[in-house]
Structure 1
Amino acid sequence: MKVRTTGDGPEKAGHHGADEEATRVFTRLSTFEPDARDLRDDADHPGDDHARTFRRISGGAEAAAPPEPAPTRTFTRDTLSLPGRDGPPDEPDRLEDPRTLRRPARTRRPRSIGRIVRRTVALLVLTVILLPCATWAWVWYTARQDERPPSDAIVVLGASQYNGRPSPVFEARLRHAAHLYEEGVAPTVVTVGGNQPGDNFTEGGSGARWLVEQGVPADSVIPIGKGSDTLESLELVAQVFEERGWRTAVIVSDPWHSLRSREIAEDFGIEAATSPARSGPAVLERETQLWYITRETASLWHYWIFGESAAVRVDAL
């Protein structure tokens, strides 16, 4: 064995010439980097090559250094300019983003005159159809009501009479009025109605005599021997009410005649209720009822439009 002398002392040389490296300390590391604080400089320690110490760096050179921040990229949304748009001369034409475009307000198309005329005509036709139907239902509904409030007088509208004798329709009205008088609805009964050419008796006079014969006191009956239709008869009744200071009345007529009678009486300033007679020829047959309702609907519209009574009499029987 040979002995080799170094700056620090004699060393033994190993096999394969590895004696110099025998004192070096190595550690298996995934990544090695000499520590600048522990690495001895050859200038300060000449000949001490085998006494170097290595330190493990956990993350390597790349991990040891702090990561550089990623560069920040700034984006700006370009608006696309529409054709014909004025812009700065130094900027290219751009189109606005469709998502930023404001939707223009919808403009209502003007309606044509023909369209307005068609709708107006359709509305008028619908009105012409619906209003008579509604009036027909109103006449039917009022005919089914029986109102008997305490009043100043009971007014019996006239009907045909034959030589001083009331017709079946008129007699049914008078009988109902006598019943109301007995119930105490009003202290006075007013009978109204004129006569036809050649008649010796009037409807009002014939009705008053019939009531007296049935037991109604004569001083409780007021006959009005004039009036050729409902409008004229109620106008005469309104004059009597005004003379006596009366305001309220219960009108006795056929069921289908009740609505028109009440409307006319109220136009003359009378607070009217209706209590129709429910016996007699006017209410016996369904066909007769339908005819009277239809006729009264037309008569009511005739009064509303022209302000006069229809020419055909309700009490034809």
Structure 2
Amino acid sequence: MRWLLWLVLLVAAWLLGVAAWIVHVGNRDQAGPADAIVVLGAAAYDTRPSPVFTERIRHGIDLYEHGYAPTLVFTGGYGDGARFSESQVARSFALREGVPNEAILIETLSRTTHQNLLRARDVLSDHNLQRVIVVSDPLHMARALRLCRQLGIDAIGSPTPSSRFRSFRTQWRFLAREVYFFHRDLVVTPD
């Protein structure tokens, strides 16, 4: 029976360690000179980005305006029944904010984080862009950067400073989901 207690304590310590690592990575802003800023997709409602996606787009634009990179790459495909892809909605938002069209690249086929980055890698390769800053929510950053490494993308992270996941409940749920994905990705190749 004692071994069971030790096993439970060991598993709990492991899970807390993974969660702490995810929080740590999400609290580091590594923004530095790069060739492009890759903004990971999130939901869009017809022509409006969701509040989460709005914050990601705004942060990407802020990095662009501060001269970290000359190109914005928006990712995200079509949601169920959507007229516009997430990346098209992001491009429209950025254009309204004064970003020139020639500074924006998009991909419109992805539906998951892995697909966002896989398609972004193709866009980056097509335009000979090497080093990127990845923009997402803080608790999503560890997984995004891990996927970048797996896909051979030279990436640094810049989490949104104004994440919509602010309450304890929403942060806890997001963190629990990311701990799950950390372990799932060890066993299953992400889609």
- If the length of structure 2 is used for normalisation, what is the TM-score? 0.92
* AA aligned opposite 1:286: F
* AA aligned opposite 1:297: V
Would you say the 8 A contact 2:105–2:123 is kept in 1? no
SS at structure 2 position matched to 1:281: coil
* AA aligned opposite 1:143: G
Equivalence for 1:178: 61
Q: 1:155 & 1:270 partners in 2: Cα distance?
A: 11
1:286 is displaced (CA, Å) by 2.2
Q: Does 1:244 align with 2:119?
A: no
Of 172, 184, 187, the residue aligned with 1:302 is 184
Deviations 1:175-216 (A, max 9, x none): 111110011111000000011221101001110111011011
Would you say the 8 A contact 2:56–2:137 is kept in 1? yes
* AA aligned opposite 1:291: R
Would you say the 8 A contact 1:156–1:253 is kept in 2? yes
1:122 is displaced (CA, Å) by 8.1
Of 135, 144, 148, the residue aligned with 1:265 is 148
Q: 1:137 & 1:295 partners in 2: Cα distance?
A: 14
* AA aligned opposite 1:221: I
| Structure 2 CA distance for partners of 1:244 and 1:122, relative to 1, 3 Å | farther
1:303 is displaced (CA, Å) by 1.2
Equivalence for 2:72: 189
Of 89, 109, 122, the residue aligned with 1:226 is 109
Q: Once the two structures are aligned, what percentage of the paired residues are identical?
A: 32
Q: 1:248 & 1:124 partners in 2: Cα distance?
A: 42
Q: 2:23 & 2:54 partners in 1: Cα distance?
A: 23
Q: Cα RMSD over matched residues? A: 2.0
Deviations 1:76-129 (A, max 9, x none): xxxxxxxxxxxxxxxxxxxxxxxxxxxxxxxxxxxxxxxxxx999888656533
1:242 is displaced (CA, Å) by 2.1
Q: 2:184 & 2:7 partners in 1: Cα distance?
A: 18
Would you say the 8 A contact 2:39–2:72 is kept in 1? yes
Deviations 1:111-165 (A, max 9, x none): xxxxxxx999888656533322211000011111111111110000111111121
Q: 1:126 & 1:231 partners in 2: Cα distance?
A: 32
Would you say the 8 A contact 1:151–1:248 is kept in 2? yes
Q: Does 1:145 align with 2:37?
A: no
Equivalence for 1:274: 157
SS at structure 1 position matched to 2:83: coil
SS at structure 2 position matched to 1:307: coil
- If the length of structure 1 is used for normalisation, what is the TM-score? 0.57
Would you say the 8 A contact 2:74–2:91 is kept in 1? yes
- Which of 1 and 2 has greater Rg? 1
Would you say the 8 A contact 2:138–2:163 is kept in 1? no
Q: 1:219 & 1:245 partners in 2: Cα distance?
A: 15
Find runs of 4+ consecutive structure 1 residues off by over 6 angstroms: 118-124
Equivalence for 1:65: none
Of 243, 249, 256, the residue aligned with 2:139 is 256
Higher helix proportion: 2
SS at structure 1 position matched to 2:33: coil
Q: Does 1:286 align with 2:168?
A: yes
Equivalence for 1:67: none
Q: 2:5 & 2:163 partners in 1: Cα distance?
A: 43
Would you say the 8 A contact 2:107–2:123 is kept in 1? no
Would you say the 8 A contact 1:204–1:226 is kept in 2? no
Give the alignment of 1:7-86 within 5 angstroms: none
* AA aligned opposite 1:300: F
Would you say the 8 A contact 2:43–2:79 is kept in 1? no
* AA aligned opposite 1:189: L
Gaps of 5+ in 2: none
